[in-house]
Amino acid sequence: MDIVQEVLQKQKKDLEKYKPITVEKHLEVTVDVGHLMATDPNYFDDDSFKKDQEQYLMDLTRDNTQLLINAVWELPTEREEEAVVAKMPAPKTVLPRARKLPVPKPLTKWEEIAKAKGIKKRVRDKKVYDEVLDKWVPTYGYQRFKAEKEKDWVLEVPQNADPNKDMFQEKRDLRIDRIAKNEIARMRNIARAKKIQTPRTGFLGPDAASARELVTAANVAKASTASVGKFQEKLTNEKQARGIGVKELMPGLKRKRAPITLPGEKKRNLEIVNKVLNKKPLIDVEKAISLQKAEARAERDNADQEGGPKKKKKQQGKKAAKKGGAFGRKKPKGGQGKRVAGKRSVGGRKRR
């Protein structure tokens, strides 16, 4: 009997490890099987959470997961290759997106024409046979350029062209123009897809510019002359540009218009003449003072360099005068040489 009780108690303990699949809650849990999501609106027990956080969260997660699994097992099932598969329904809950919905890529101008006319895109072969080179060459890529260079090693000069003209350079220029044209077309497609109005090459066409824009452009061009459009002839049915931002575009509004009357023109010309004739140069006082100081310093240095030896000579002369008497040179000796009659002696003692 004791053995039976032991077995029953052991079985009871084993069953306690596994909880039942039925879960009872005060409020019904909302289950969205399409998203495999369960929303529990029941009250969050703070006291139980503070006592044992991990155990409370474990029990709460287990119960909600059990309800989700029960809802999955209620779905219709089918067998596929030794496996039971449940058919998932469409999701009910609308979840917010992290990013906006992808917009379909807009068609280019050529794609719209091809779609309207039913033209289908033809897949080009990667290589084609060239009869001139007698080999297979690629239809695109850098290898194709090498093949064309090998093929066009000589070019024919047309009869009406200049014989000294470089045909290879002309071919390169045409290729560069073609690449630029394709790039412009690509940028126009992007601008058209983003609904940005772009002008045509060189001028605004009627399909790219409105009547108001054309009137504004005409007025701006007329006022862009040196006379601010005073001597420009008026067009037939010419209108004055109006609207927001027109004043900022008109260059004539920033400058003063010249007087049209004769007295006013005469007065303006006289003011210009008087301004030119009575124009005085601007004097920088600090710069003039610094230049004057520099010149005085240079003169002083030159005087010091030249005056040093002269002072020495003067001192030597004074010493000689002290030694020889009142004059610096010695007295002539008498009785030496003969005086020529009628000739005045240069040297000698001066009479006072």
Six-digit token pair at 135? 């080999």
In this prediction the pTM is: 0.31
Which tens digit of pLDDT belongs to each residue from 212-229? 777 777 777 777 777 777
Helices 109-117 and 167-193: crossing angle, nearest 10°?
80
The candidate with the shortest Cα–Cα distance to 238, out of 267, 211, 200, 210, is 211
Which tens digit of pLDDT belongs to each residue from 55-87? 889 989 989 999 999 999 889 888 888 888 888
- Beta bridge partners, 84, equal 79
Band the pLDDT of 206: cuts 50, 70, 90: low
Which tens digit of pLDDT belongs to each residue from 85-94? 888 899 888 8
For 197-217, give the secondary structure using H, E and C. Answer: CCCCCCCCCCCCCCHHHHHHH
| Mean confidence (pLDDT) of the chain | 77
Question: Mean pLDDT across the stretch 37-42?
Answer: 90
Q: Is the pLDDT of residue 51 over 80?
A: yes
Which tens digit of pLDDT belongs to each residue from 109-158? 888 889 999 988 888 888 888 888 888 988 887 788 788 888 888 888 88
Q: Is the pLDDT of residue 255 over 70?
A: no
d(CA 194, CA 262) in angstroms, rounded, equals 56
pLDDT at residue 65, rounded to an integer: 92
Q: 311-319, long-range: CB within 8 Å, 24+ apart, which pairs?
A: none
Question: Mean pLDDT across the stretch 193-209?
Answer: 60
Q: What residue segments make up the domains of the chain, in order of their start?
A: 12-86, 108-154, 165-197
